[in-house]
Amino acid sequence: MKLSFSPASPFARKVRIAAIELGLIDQIDFMAAATTPGQPNEDYIRQVNPLKKLPALILDSGEVIIDSFVIVEYLDDLAGGGKLTPSSGPERWRVRSDHSLLQGMMESMLLCRYEKLVRPKDFFWQAWYDDHWHRAWTGFAKFDANDKVLDGPFDIVQIALTCALGYADFRFAECGWRDAYPKLAAFNERMMQRESVKISMPPPA
Ligand SMILES: N[C@@H](CCC(=O)N[C@@H](CS)C(=O)NCC(=O)O)C(=O)O
């Protein structure tokens, strides 16, 4: 299997952590891919993902699986099932819904990043930026009050929360989430004990 990957991507990091935890990392080749908006990558769009997003998992059969959550579900299945993503019962829906919130928070943070870095300065839209940042920030508040997740089992939600916090550190280092959300800070410290989390930290910005 091949995974389109960037060490800066919180979505790709989620898959990497999951693959390590599931014992599948040695079966995956990592393939750099350029997906920055405004910079064409026609080969990737045609051969891998028309949405020009990473990560995507390319199976040995040539089939492509897109979206980090779906990729983690696939890997979880490969490893026997139900280890990081519950496959039935009420927990399945709770986990999927919590994960969707985290996915949206990471997407909002990424949009903020693109707004600052990629969009031509003259077109920067402050209200839009603030709105997206507020979504991510309020999402963090929600998880800071969510003991079920913070003290719960190690699963895709805990992985995604760790990646969202890591992305906040990586791209918004001054945002002050540790002071605003002490329970998240303690959670993050705990997660940092895991080898998979430590070695997948984004590179220095
Ligand atoms: N829902 C997707 C989001 C992936 C995503 O947005 N990846 C970013 C990299 S961090 C990307 O490729 N962005 C390119 C773009 O949005 O134009 C997933 O979970 O895999």
The CATH number given to whatever domain includes residue 159 is 1.20.1050.10
Ligand 1: residue whose CA is nearest its atom 20: 67
Would the CB of 162 count as within 6 Å of ligand 1?
Answer: no
In this prediction, residues 111-121 reach a mean pLDDT of: 96
Residue at 205 is within a domain: no
Q: Is the pLDDT of residue 123 over 70?
A: yes
pLDDT at residue number 205: 67
Would the CB of 49 count as within 6 Å of ligand 1?
Answer: no
Q: Is the pLDDT of residue 155 over 90?
A: yes
pTM over the 0.85 mark: yes
Residue at 85 is within a domain: no
Q: Is the pLDDT of residue 85 over 80?
A: yes
User: What separation in Å is there between the alpha carbon of 1 and the centre of ligand 1?
Assistant: 19
Residue at 74 is within a domain: yes
DSSP the chain: -EEEE-TT-HHHHHHHHHHHHTT-GGG-EEEE----TTS--HHHHHHT-TT--S-EEE-TTS-EEESHHHHHHHHHHHTTSSSSS--SSHHHHHHHHHHHHHHHHHHHHHHHHHHHHTS-GGG--HHHHHHHHHHHHHHHHHHHT-HHHHTS-SSHHHHHHHHHHHHHHHH-TTS-HHHH-HHHHHHHHHHTTSHHHHHTPPPP-
Tell me which residue range forms the domain holding 167: 90-199
Of the three residues 28, 47, 78, the one that is the final residue of a domain is 78
